[in-house]
Structure 1
C-alpha cells in the first residue's frame, strides 16, 4: 500500500494508538490503495488536482479552493460535514452532515476518490484479509453512482488487484496453487473429453463399417424367414428365379454338351472374413451376455469388441469360381475373393481403424462331397479378377479352357454359376430337403452347404444369352443371373471361357457384364513369371 504525506499521518505498519482515531482508504482514482490516517479531532478534507485526498488540521487559516469537507471527532466517531457548495455522498446518498460508521463508503465530490471509512480499534494489518477486500468491492458496487456495468467491472478489477497485491504471501501461493490445480484438472477433463469423443467417433465408425459388411452378409445368409418363404413357394408351386435359371435346356435349348462338360469345374464358393483391430492387433469378437448369448448394440447390430470373449465375428459371403485347365488355380472375381474391397467398405474399415482378414474360404465342386480349402493367390489391380490356390490332388483332369479371342456381337454364350447362393441350391434340392432343415435348429451357413454337398446337391445353374457388345474392357450379354453368380464363366459354343461374369445391369434390360478373358490370361502370366 502507498501512504500520503498528511499531517499527523502514520505508516500502516505502526499501531493504531494515541490520537489515531480512524483511517480512510481510497478505493478509486489515482490514489487508490492509499491509506490516510485520521489522527486529530478536527480535520479539513480537500481534493487536489490529481484527485488525491488531502487532510490537514482544522485551524483558523483561510480555506483553500480545494477544501470539500470537514471531519469532527465526536462520541467515538467522526462527523462528516460538507462545505457550502460541495457535494458529498455517503453510501450513495448525498449528505450535508453525517455521523460516519465503520465501513461507510464516502464519495468526495464528482472528481474525488471513493474511500472506505474504518474506525481504528486495533493494530492496522500489514495485509488485508480476503473478507475485507471482498467487502470493499461489494460496498463500492452498491454505493457507487456510476452505471451498473462500470460499477461491476471496477469492483471486479479492483478486488482482483488487491487480492494480488494486498494479501499475505501464503494466501497468494495458495491461490496460485489452487488455480494451477484447477487448470490441471480442466486440462485432464479436456483430454478425457477428447479421448471420449474420439472413442465415440471411432465406435460410430466401427458400427458404420460393421453395418456395411453386414449388408452383403444378409444377402448370402439364410434366415428362418427365408426357409419359410422357400417352403411357401414349393407349396404354391411357384417357379422362383433360381428354378427358372435351372431349366436352361427346356427354356433356351442350350447345348447339353457344353453344360455337361463344364459343370464339374464350376465351384460354389463359400467364405467368411473377420475384422481385426489395427491398434491392438486383436480380432473383433462377440460380446456375450450372462447366459452366453450374443449381445447387440442399441442400433440392432452385433456387439463386437477386440477384448470380448465370444467367437470372432464372421461376415459371410458366397460366390462362384471355376477351375482352370492345366493349373491348380481357380478363377473368380476380386470382389468375391476380397469382398470387403467393394464400394465404400474399404474406406469405412480404414476410418474405423480395422482391417479385414479371411477366416475361412471353401470351394464346393459338383460330384465331390467334401469342400476344398482355397487361399488367395493373386488379384488384379485393374480388373475384377482373382486367382485362388486349391489342392491339386482334388482337381485332377478338371478345368476349363480359355478362349483365344473375344466373342463378337450376336455370339451365343452360356453362363454357369450359383446365383442367390444357398437359396438356389436349396430350391434345386427340393421340398424334402427343406423339411429336414426346418426340423434341425442347429443348421447354419456352413452346415447347410455341407449337407447339400453330401447329398450331391451342389450343381451350378446355367443360362443362355446373346453377346450385345464387346470391348477390351467388358463383354455385355443378356444371359440371366443374379447376386451370387459373380465369378462364374461365360462360355462359347466350344466350351471355352470368353468372359468372367462380374456385374449385373438391371437398368439395361437385365444385361450383365463380364471381364474379357484376355485380362485373366494377363493375370495368369504375371503369376507364372514370379
Structure 2
C-alpha cells in the first residue's frame, strides 16, 4: 500500500515553549499508562484503585447530600402541615365567606392603605371637614311599646314577689296579663341631614328597631305590634330636641326620616356622585355607644351632678347634654378596603349607636351610610354605598311627585 504524503500548504504555526512542555507531559503520561498496562498489577494499583476510591467517595458524598435533602424535605413538609392546619382553623373559625373575602382584601391592600394614610395626612388638617360635616350629624332617640292589635293590651313585665322574672337567657319574662310595668324599649342611633326640607338619612334598623332581636321574637310569640311612643332628634349646637318621624324605608338597610325645627336650618350634606375606591380615605361620623360616649367626654363634676339628680333616665340625660352643648358626634378615620354593589368595607372604628352615620371622603362628600360592624374582625365595618342611597332618594322623589 502506498501512502501519499501531501505537503502542507501555508506556513506551519510555531509552538511556544509552554505548549511544547504541555504536549511533552501528555506524551509521557500516555507512555506511562501503556507501560502500566503491560504490568497489570501496577496498572491496578496506580489507576484502578484510585478510581474506585474516588467513585466510592463520590457516592458517600451523594448519600450525605441525599440525607440532608430528605431532612430538609421533611422539615418543609412539617411547615406545610403547620400552615395547612392554621388554614383549616381559619376556615372553621370564619363566620362567613363574604366576611373572609372582605378581610382578605383588606389585608392585601394593607401596604396601599398605609400609603393612602400618608397621602391623607399630607393633604392637610381635617378640622374644616370635621366641623362642616359634624354640624349636620345628629342623634336620634326613641321609645316604643308592643301592643296586641285586637285586645289593645300592652306587653308587660312578668313579676313574681314584686320582682321581674327572668328567662334562661337573662332577659325579662313578658306577658299580656298582670299588673307589671309596661315593657318599653328605648333605642338610639345616628342620622344626617340631606336636604333643606328636613329630610334625614339613617339605617332601616335604626328607624324600625323592633325588626330584630328580642322585640321581633316577642312580636311573633304574642302577636303584638309596635307602637312608637316618641322619636326625637338632637343636632350639635342646639339646646332643644325636635320631633322626628319615619318617612320611608328601603330594602338595603336605609331609611328616610323627617325632622322639624333645627333640622330645617342645618346645612345638608352632599352625596358623592359615585362609590369610593379601595384605598380612599374614609371619615365616619356618629354617636357610637349612644349617651355613654357623650358622658365620657364630660368632666367628673358634671357626671357627679347627674348621678345626684333624682329620676334620671336616658331621656333626661340627653336633654341635659344638649343644654350644655355636649351633643357632638365622634369621628374616626380609616381606609376603604373593599367596594361592591352591596357594601363598602372600611377600617374606621365605630360601635353600636354609630349606625346611620355618614361615611365621607376628604372633601366632606358622603360615600356610604354606616350600618354594621364585622364582629370577628377588629376594626372592620360596613356601610351602604352612596349610589344605593342616591337611588333610594330618586325613588322616594318619584313617589312623592306622583302623590301630589
Give the aligned partner of residue 137 of structure 2.
Answer: 266
TM-score, scaled to structure 1: 0.49
Deviation at 1:419, TM superposition (A): 0.5
Of 233, 236, 241, the match for 1:363: 233
Deviation at 1:310, TM superposition (A): 6.3
| 1:482 and 2:351 are equivalent in the alignment | yes
Give the aligned partner of residue 529 of structure 1.
Answer: 398
**Separation in 2, partners of 1:526, 1:310:** 45
The answer to whether the Cα contact below 8 Å between 2:158 and 2:165 also exists between their aligned partners in 1 is no
Distance 1:432 1:344, change over 3 A: closer
Give the aligned partner of residue 187 of structure 1.
Answer: none
Give the aligned partner of residue 220 of structure 2.
Answer: 350
Aligned residues: 277
**Separation in 1, partners of 2:383, 2:141:** 21
**Of the two structures, which has the highest relative contact order with CA contacts closer than 8 Å and spacing of 6 or more?**
2
Deviation at 1:309, TM superposition (A): 5.4
**1:90-489 → structure 2 map (5 Å cutoff):** 255-285=126-156, 295-297=163-165, 299=167, 302=172, 305-306=175-176, 312-342=182-212, 345-381=215-251, 383-391=252-260, 394-489=263-358
Where 2:376 maps in the other structure, the secondary structure is helix
Higher share in helix: 2
Distance 1:394 1:481, change over 3 A: closer
The answer to whether the Cα contact below 8 Å between 2:135 and 2:266 also exists between their aligned partners in 1 is no
Deviation at 1:465, TM superposition (A): 0.6
Deviation at 1:288, TM superposition (A): 8.2
Distance 1:337 1:511, change over 3 A: same
Deviations 1:288-308 (A, max 9, x none): 899xxx741264755654455
Deviation at 1:471, TM superposition (A): 1.1
Deviations 1:355-379 (A, max 9, x none): 2222111111101111111111100
Distance 1:289 1:326, change over 3 A: same
Give the aligned partner of residue 66 of structure 2.
Answer: none
Give the aligned partner of residue 170 of structure 1.
Answer: none
The answer to whether the Cα contact below 8 Å between 1:284 and 1:308 also exists between their aligned partners in 2 is no
**Separation in 2, partners of 1:316, 1:488:** 19
Where 1:409 maps in the other structure, the secondary structure is coil
Distance 1:362 1:254, change over 3 A: farther
Where 1:331 maps in the other structure, the secondary structure is strand
Of 376, 380, 393, the match for 1:507: 376
Distance 1:400 1:526, change over 3 A: same
Higher share in strand: 1
Deviation at 1:286, TM superposition (A): 5.3
Where 1:525 maps in the other structure, the secondary structure is helix
Unpaired runs of 5+ in structure 2? Answer: 1-119, 400-404
Where 1:283 maps in the other structure, the secondary structure is coil
Deviation at 1:327, TM superposition (A): 3.3
Distance 1:495 1:281, change over 3 A: same
The answer to whether the Cα contact below 8 Å between 1:295 and 1:303 also exists between their aligned partners in 2 is no
**Separation in 1, partners of 2:136, 2:318:** 17
**Separation in 2, partners of 1:476, 1:339:** 23
Give the aligned partner of residue 109 of structure 2.
Answer: none
Where 2:297 maps in the other structure, the secondary structure is helix
| 1:516 and 2:381 are equivalent in the alignment | no
Where 1:429 maps in the other structure, the secondary structure is coil
**Separation in 2, partners of 1:525, 1:298:** 47
